[in-house]
Structure 1
Amino acid sequence: MSAPLTPPTPPTPPHEQAAASSPYGWNGHAAYPRQDGWYEKDGPGMKTELREAAVTAVAVAAVGVLLGVLWWWLAPRVPLVGEVLDGNWVVYLKDSEGEQGIGVDGTFSLLALAFGAVSAVVVFLVRRRGGVPLVVALAVGGLLGSVLAWRLGVWLGPGSDVVAQARSAGKGVTFDAPLKLGAKGALLAWPFGALVLHLGLTALFGPRDPEPFPAGPYEIPGA
């Protein structure tokens, strides 16, 4: 008696052969194309995203130098006057009802919002793919840039020793008060504005996930 013959393996249907050779996979397992290969479905990898996020945070924070210079240049000056009372120098506001102090905070806030908008647009155009690390880096970089701008503006402005300035200027002579940020909440204007605009741009113009291939037989036209 002869041994039973093993039935031959049935040929693979043409649509399954095409699916196996296609870089897009099958049953919804897709990949994103790029110039040097293929992204996996979840992106280029966490290490790459973290590296890009770190570079983004440093670059955004470095722009805070420009914000600090503009704030020092554009912020209104608060006039002070020095007088001698009982042999001691006393410094007071020349215009007690003036709103220059509010203008200093407002100038910083408006400039920070503008910088947040510009940084959000630039980051979106450079890294249109987005991702959580990139968004966090944008916020952290904006906050660090605001702090850097604040400290730089204070350093560029008049000295903090107002008594010494009053003595140098002379009795009854007006001089500028040190540049300071009264409302520390203005430091959040840059990261807040950047996050809102970047999320809006991503929602409107960001890349969309490709439609998954339906499970089951798929006929290739012309096959």
Structure 2
Amino acid sequence: MTVPNTPPDPAHADVEAEPGAVPDPFAPPPVSDEELPTEPPEGLLAAPPVVEHPLPAELRIGAGVVVVCLLVGLVMAGLWAWLAPKVPLLVDGDRILYADPEGEQRAGADGVFVLIALGAGFLTALGAFLVTRKRGGGIAVALGLAVGGLLGSIGAWRLGRWLGPSDNLIGEARRVGNGGHFDASIDLGALGALLVWPMAAMVVLLALSAAFGKREEDPPPYWGTPAGSYGAGVGPVDAAPEDRAQS
């Protein structure tokens, strides 16, 4: 037995009525596809957007910084081989002597390398900051400068030794003959100078980011939050009568 005036089952609302059947006056009107809502109703959470993983972009930025540092290392090697003071040697019979025993050319070569490394660290950090400033930098920039600066320093050291005077002392002594002079090869007495470039780049990048880096907007204060953000009917709190009297 069917209860009269029973509303139809929504699950079977799209089933066609049998021929000759009396239409139900309580049945809801049919809804076409054009009238269906395309956006979720207000108050319902929409599905979060799909965010692409930024790892490939970070890797490209870090690799680019390393490549630029290696190219700067080539220039640094040429400058060091050109500007570093040379150690003069003297051939005396079957001996090779220092022409200036009290000279400080060895220490001077280390000092020139450190000064060039400081300049390279400043330039690479400034360039990396200016290029990546709009996107807010990132850990890839710092890692690229650290790794690239260390590799660039090592490359400049090795290449600078090759570009400088030969390290074959016996061959050079035979070439100039007895009483002749020639220059010794340049080298680093303190290998800690290889860390000057990456350390300088880190300091410069940190200072630039702190002074001119991209800033995120601060959230609004809690008293400026629109009504309804934390619950229905929540609005600004009126000042106390004592406060109004004082104002």
TM-score, normalization by structure 2:
0.68
Task: Kindly indicate whether residue 82 of structure 2 is the aligned counterpart of residue 47 of structure 1.
Answer: no
1:61 pairs with one of 58, 67, 70: 70
Distance in 1 between the 2:63 and 2:183 partners?
39
Deviations 1:175-219 (A, max 9, x none): 100111111111111111111001110011100112235675359
Give the secondary structure class of the aligned counterpart of 1:82: strand
Q: For 1:174-189, what aligned pairs fall within 5 Å after superposition? A: 174-189=181-196
Would the aligned equivalents of 1:90 and 1:163 in 2 still touch at CA under 8 Å?
no
Q: State the 1:67 CA deviation.
A: 0.2
Which residue of 2 is the match for residue 131 of structure 1? 138
Larger radius of gyration: 2
Would the aligned equivalents of 1:82 and 1:92 in 2 still touch at CA under 8 Å?
yes
Give the secondary structure class of the aligned counterpart of 1:64: helix
1:80 pairs with one of 70, 86, 89: 89
Which residue of 1 is the match for residue 206 of structure 2? 199
Q: For 1:204-223, what aligned pairs fall within 5 Å after superposition? A: 204-212=211-219, 217=226
Q: Which amino acid aligns with 2:81?
A: W
Which residue of 2 is the match for residue 106 of structure 1? 111
Q: 1:214 to 1:163 in 2, by over 3 A?
A: same
Which residue of 2 is the match for residue 145 of structure 1? 152
Q: State the 1:115 CA deviation.
A: 0.8
Deviations 1:118-152 (A, max 9, x none): 11101000011111121011111111111111111
1:173 pairs with one of 175, 180, 197: 180
Identity of aligned residues (%): 46
Task: Kindly indicate whether residue 164 of structure 2 is the aligned counterpart of residue 157 of structure 1.
Answer: yes
Q: Which has the higher contact order (CA 8 A, sep 6+)?
A: 1
Q: State the 1:3 CA deviation.
A: 8.0
Higher strand share: 1
Q: Which amino acid aligns with 1:95?
A: D
Which residue of 2 is the match for residue 37 of structure 1? none
- Structure 2: runs of 5+ lacking an equivalent: 8-41, 46-50, 229-247
Distance in 1 between the 2:113 and 2:146 partners?
17
Equivalent pairs counted in the alignment come to 186
TM-score, normalization by structure 1:
0.74
Q: Give the root-mean-square deviation of aligned CA atoms.
A: 3.0
Would the aligned equivalents of 1:61 and 1:143 in 2 still touch at CA under 8 Å?
no
